[in-house]
Amino acid sequence: MPFTVEDFRDLIRIVEERPEWRADLRRLLLTDELLSLPEQVVNLRAQTERGFQELEAAQRRTEEQVAGLAVAQRRTEEQVAGLAAAQRRTEEQMARLTLIVQTLSGDVGDLKGESLERRYRERAPAYLARVVRRAHVLSTEELLSLLEDAVERGELSEVEAAEVAWADLVVRGRRREDGAEIYFVVEVSWGVGPHDVERAVHRAALLAQLGTPALPMVAGKTVTGEAASLIRTIPVWQLTDGQVVPPERATDSS
């Protein structure tokens, strides 16, 4: 017997009146895949929500980590700034310490030089006794008087006289060989350098313009290699540790 439209309508009416039959009818009309689709959608929604929740949690953790990194970065920058400030303070302290050491070294050098100059001033007559008789270290007043007279006679200019006046020592005596009066123009330094040699030679040459022989001499504890090389080419007397060395012996020994 064929299934008519009226039969279909009756079926719909019956299903509407009997809701419990709807599930059976759906099971007959739909495939298992279609029937499970709502459940799959629910599961998918749940998974999606869990995924979003996990993403949100991961995002929060990331933000917290970024915030932690920012804090750590600020601490690092503060530490670097502190280290830089400490480095600057250390450099400033080292610079001050270097300046203090240099100042102390200069002061010690000056004291040593002054002590050595005083020693040679006091003992020069004894040191030079084998070279000259009646050795006498000119006082500042005696030297200035000698130079002022030379300026008045036109033998030295004011500048030249001032240059000679800066000599550490000027010793007058009579040469033992012939009794002739001579001067020693002495430059004193703890470590004799080439500039000491040059100053002694220059100042002795100026003093010799007064008509009395003036011999350059350097005195000190040691003589640098540069000064020794210069002395080999210039006749300069040496006074080292109380021992007088004439130019020819200084040249031969070097």
pLDDT value for 58: 81
Q: What is the mean pLDDT of residues 86-103?
A: 72
Radius of gyration for the alpha carbons in the chain, expressed in angstroms and rounded: 55
Model confidence at 98: pLDDT above 80: no
Q: Which of 31-35, 73-77, 80-84, 105-109 is least confident?
A: 105-109
pLDDT value for 249: 56
Q: Give domain 128-253's CATH architecture.
A: 3-Layer(aba) Sandwich (3.40)
Distance of alpha carbon 180 from alpha carbon 133, whole angstroms: 10
End-to-end alpha carbon distance in the chain: 147
Percent of the chain with pLDDT over 70: 81
| Domain layout of the chain by residue ranges | 128-253
Q: What is the pLDDT of residues 218-233, one digit of tens each?
A: 998 889 999 998 999 9
Distance of alpha carbon 158 from alpha carbon 139, whole angstroms: 19
Distance of alpha carbon 12 from alpha carbon 29, whole angstroms: 14
Strand segments, DSSP code E, in the chain are 132-137, 169-175, 181-188, 191-192, 214-220, 222-223, 237-240, 243-245
Q: What is the pLDDT of residues 125-167, one digit of tens each?
A: 888 888 999 999 999 999 999 999 999 999 999 999 999 999 9
